[in-house]
Amino acid sequence: MSDRAPHDADRPRRRSAYAEGRLRSYLLVNGIAIWVSVLALVVLRVFVTGESTTILRTIQVLAAGGVLVAGAIALAARGRQALAAAIVVVATWVVAVSITWITPFVAPVGLLALLLPLVIVADHLPRRGRPVIIVVTTVLSGTVVAVGSLQQESYGQTHVYSPVQALVLAMFVPLLVGVLVLGLRDYVQRLQDRTRELEESRSRLAQASVEARRGIERDLHDGAQQHLATLAVDIGRASRLWDKDPATAREVVGGLQGKLELAIRELRDLAHGIYPTALGEKGLPAALPAAARRTVLPCTVDARHVGRHAPAVEAAVYFCCLEAIQNADRHSGGTLITVRATDEDGPEVGLRFSIVDDGRGFDPGSSRAAHGLTGMRDRIRAAGGELTVHSSPGVGTTVEGVFPPGTRQTR
């Protein structure tokens, strides 16, 4: 598992970079295709067809779509992937329906064009808006077919069909089908990769669960169990001495309270590591400050505005924060640890948390570091979130996790 850890730790970053690159490539190709089509139609109108109203309207529609795609490209370059993806979907709607109305013989092209954005940019669309976009695209696909059928007769009365029309369909339909097939293949591959990652995470979590149970057994044996065994011996000794040597018996009994308190403290600390009472009763705003009070370095916590979430989410966030806090406290060499947790209202993020230290930092790709980060990342992913780690030697460390909307609960 440790040999694979560096690869696993870097995988989310590579997957995100790949998705962003795929979106930018699609937008760029889409924009180039639209403006090349506009240029070709302008040349055709000037040198071949003359003052064709149909071609002029087609140029105007394509230019409008090209402007929208250009705006989406600019937004994607600024990191606004969700908005860029939504704009390119709307641009496709406008172009597909309008072009089919103007030139109904291209209805098959418009129908295929409607499906491309959902296959290629679906991952970047706002989560809450995806159902609406899917429904609208489905309705528009029927609209394109209906418009193409209704306009065929009137178009045939005012236009003469030529081999150019058949050539346009012969060129664009295979191109769009090819892009659609490649997009579906890429989507299936991403699903397979995601499934494999989940299977690997499940295996690591199962192994971690076994190791945790063994750790609890060792802690019980070496800690509270030993103290309780000593108590049992002392109680037996006191009972035997009670009649023969009352003074010694009272001395032995007097020492029982301290040993009992030590055993209770050992059990309380162990139970806190399994699932703290404060987390179950009051959630993260109570549990995180309690964890911060056990550090050597100063540790500030701001989780005042976090509501209650699903128990699995709260547990994942708490134990991830706990491990990150302990790592920073023991190994960072810094002067301050800062923990923040917030409920956000954005369409993509419901709960966000971060642990920041100003220590010496480290290389997240190293085998030892990546092994620990993989365990934290597996815990967050198992609860439905994503974890990222930003660090390099000399600049401190930031551990950040996000969960999508929908995990908040009313209790």
Is 207 a domain residue? no
**How many structural domains compose the chain?**
3
Distance of CA 53 to the CA centre of its chain: 49
221's tokens: 């044996």
Domain stops at, among 140, 168, 200: 200
Distance of CA 373 to the CA centre of its chain: 16
pLDDT score at 398: 93
Q: Which of 44-48, 202-206, 251-255, 397-401 has the lowest mean pLDDT?
A: 202-206
> Do 24 and 74 meet the contact criterion of CB atoms below 8 Å apart?
no
Residue 305 reports pLDDT greater than 90: no
Q: How far apart are the C-alpha atoms of 316 and 330, rounded to whole Å?
A: 21
User: ∠ at Cα 278 (277, 282), nearest 5°?
Assistant: 125
pLDDT score at 250: 82
CATH number for the domain spanning 337: value is: 3.30.565.10
Q: How far apart are the C-alpha atoms of 168 and 110, rounded to whole Å?
A: 12
Which whole number is the average pLDDT over 186-205? 75
> Do 5 and 201 meet the contact criterion of CB atoms below 8 Å apart?
no
Q: What is the pTM of this model?
A: 0.52
Q: How far apart are the C-alpha atoms of 198 and 28, rounded to whole Å?
A: 32
98's tokens: 């309008």
Residue pLDDT, tens place only, 221-278: 656 666 677 778 888 888 888 878 888 888 878 878 777 877 776 677 666 666 777 8
User: At how many degrees (to 10) do helices 246-254 and 224-244 cross?
Assistant: 160
pLDDT score at 335: 92
User: Could you give the 3-state DSSP secondary structure of residue 216?
Assistant: helix
Say whether both 94 and 161 belong to one domain: yes
Which whole number is the average pLDDT over 313-323? 88
Q: How far apart are the C-alpha atoms of 98 and 92, rounded to whole Å?
A: 10
Among candidate residues 349, 327, 352, the one with its CA nearest the CA of residue 340: 352
Is 60 a domain residue? yes
Say whether both 240 and 286 belong to one domain: no
Residues 6+ apart with CB under 8 A from 129: 86, 347
DSSP string, 282-310: H-HHHHHHHHHTT-SS-EEEE-TT---B-
pLDDT score at 377: 86
For residue 126, the surrounding DSSP H or E stretch is none
192's tokens: 């397979």
Residue pLDDT, tens place only, 329-342: 888 889 999 999 99
Residue pLDDT, tens place only, 158-192: 666 666 666 666 666 676 677 667 777 777 777 78
Say whether both 182 and 245 belong to one domain: no
**Average predicted confidence (pLDDT) for the chain:** 79
Which whole number is the average pLDDT over 129-155? 85
pLDDT bucket at 2, cuts 50 / 70 / 90? very low
Q: How far apart are the C-alpha atoms of 164 and 159, rounded to whole Å?
A: 13
Say whether both 330 and 262 belong to one domain: no
Domain stops at, among 234, 253, 273: 273
Residue 7 reports pLDDT greater than 90: no
pLDDT score at 198: 75
Residue pLDDT, tens place only, 79-113: 888 888 889 888 889 888 888 888 888 888 888 88
Is 208 a domain residue? no
363's tokens: 């290389």
Q: How far apart are the C-alpha atoms of 58 and 163, rounded to whole Å?
A: 19
Residue that wins the pLDDT comparison between 214 and 91? 91
Domain stops at, among 150, 168, 200: 200
Is 211 a domain residue? no
Calculate Rg over the CA atoms of the chain.
Answer: 32
Say whether both 250 and 303 belong to one domain: no
Say whether both 13 and 143 belong to one domain: yes
Is 410 a domain residue? no
pLDDT score at 285: 92
Q: How many CA atoms lie within 13 A of 149 on its CB side?
A: 6
Query: Residue 185 is part of which domain span?
Result: 5-200
Provide the 8-state DSSP code for 122: G
Say whether both 351 and 366 belong to one domain: yes
Say whether both 241 and 131 belong to one domain: no
pLDDT score at 105: 80
pLDDT score at 217: 67
Residue 12 reports pLDDT greater than 60: no
Point out which residues pair with 402 in neighbouring strands: 352, 386
User: Could you give the 3-state DSSP secondary structure of residue 146?
Assistant: helix
